[in-house]
Amino acid sequence: MAYENPSEYINHHLTNLTYGRHPDLGWKLAESGSEAAEMGFMSIHVDSMMWSIGLGALFLFLFWRAGRKATSDQPGGFQNAIEMILEFIDDTVKQVFHGKTGPLGPIALTIFMWVLLMNSMKLVPVDLVPFTLEQFGVGYQKIAPTTNPNVTLGMATFVLMMVVYYSFKVKGFGFIKELCFTPFNHWLFIPVNLFMELVGLLSKPLSLGLRLFGNMYAGEMIFILIALMFSAGFLLWPLAGGLQFIWAVFHILVVSLQAFIFMVLTVVYIAMAHEDH
């Protein structure tokens, strides 16, 4: 690999393929991290978007096909596997959310499977896809979308939107009243209450997104460091290989656990939106 030093290698691995409007150069693919940074908000991480949409579409396609062929007679192996996941999600949702779950099941399923697939991309060796694509002239590639805070915070924001939607749907105007008059039930305290409630409201999805991002980013970082060990001479290869294996095995747990946590917390937040203080 043609990297001058480890820090360049790491930086390269942590840079997204970015398309955006450069202040001086107009709309283009960023050719370096600094160029991408100069683009500011008016840019998009092509790799994150493509991988996340691709993986989400894969999940939806597989489940949709299973649903189309679904029979109430003896299910085949694939349908069995899908139904196992569905039942697991449905049970979890029903444990957290009492009452008619409505669209909560599909929401939880989408979150769980999508995040799981996106996280799983970390188990692909760090250099495999970026290096291959580099041969075709694609400079940067981060294949695990959840190591991108834009992705996780975007999802968390959608969760926030759902929480606000359900709060209004269930409580109507009472939601505003709740924001203004708890915990101190006096009109003088409205600004204080509003501030505290809004912080509480916003902190939930923020922590949701940052938790997922933090776990995935840290894991990715370790993978990159282990990969770096391979370039430190073949004497270290067995050690690096062993470490990578152990870390990957450990990460199978982290990957699924984080997906599960994201899903459960989303359901919990939406369930809380249904309850009065």
Partner 1 sequence: MNFNLTFIGQIITFGVFVWFCARFVWPPLMQAMQERQKKIADGLNAADRAAKDLELAQDNAAEKLREAKEQAASIVEQANRRASKIVEEAKADARAEGDRLRKATQEEIEHERNQAREALRAQVAVLALAGAEKVVDASVDEKVHNEMLQKLASEL
Kindly list the catalytic residues. Answer: 207, 211, 215
Answer yes or no whether residue 73 interacts with partner 1 by CB under 8 A. Answer: yes
Q: Least distance in Å: CB of 70 to partner 1?
A: 4
The three-state (H, E, C) secondary structure of 156-213, written as one string: HHHHHHHHHHHHHHHHCCHHHHHHHHCCCCCHHHHHHHHHHHHHHHHHHHHHHHHHHH
End-to-end CA distance of the chain: 58
Q: Which is nearer to partner 1, 154 or 214 (CB)?
A: 154
Answer yes or no whether residue 42 interacts with partner 1 by CB under 8 A. Answer: yes
Which helix (H) or strand (E) is 21 found in, with range?
strand 18-22
List binders of partner 1 among 190-219 (CB under 8 A). none
Q: Least distance in Å: CB of 196 to partner 1?
A: 26
Answer yes or no whether residue 103 interacts with partner 1 by CB under 8 A. Answer: yes
The sheet with strand 43-45 has its strands ordered as: 26-29, 18-22, 43-45
Member of 52, 167, 193, 244 binding partner 1 (CB under 8 A): 52
Phi then psi for residue 246, to 5 deg, are -60, -45
Residue 56 neighbours by CB under 8 Å, 6+ apart: 110, 114, 117
Could you tell me which stretch among 101-109, 166-174, 195-203, 225-233 binds partner 1 (CB under 8 A)? 101-109
What are the residues binding partner 1 (CB under 8 A)? 14-16, 18, 20, 36-37, 39-45, 48-49, 52-53, 56, 60, 63-64, 66-68, 70-73, 75, 79, 82-83, 86-87, 90, 103, 105-107, 109-110, 114, 148-151, 153-155, 157-158, 161
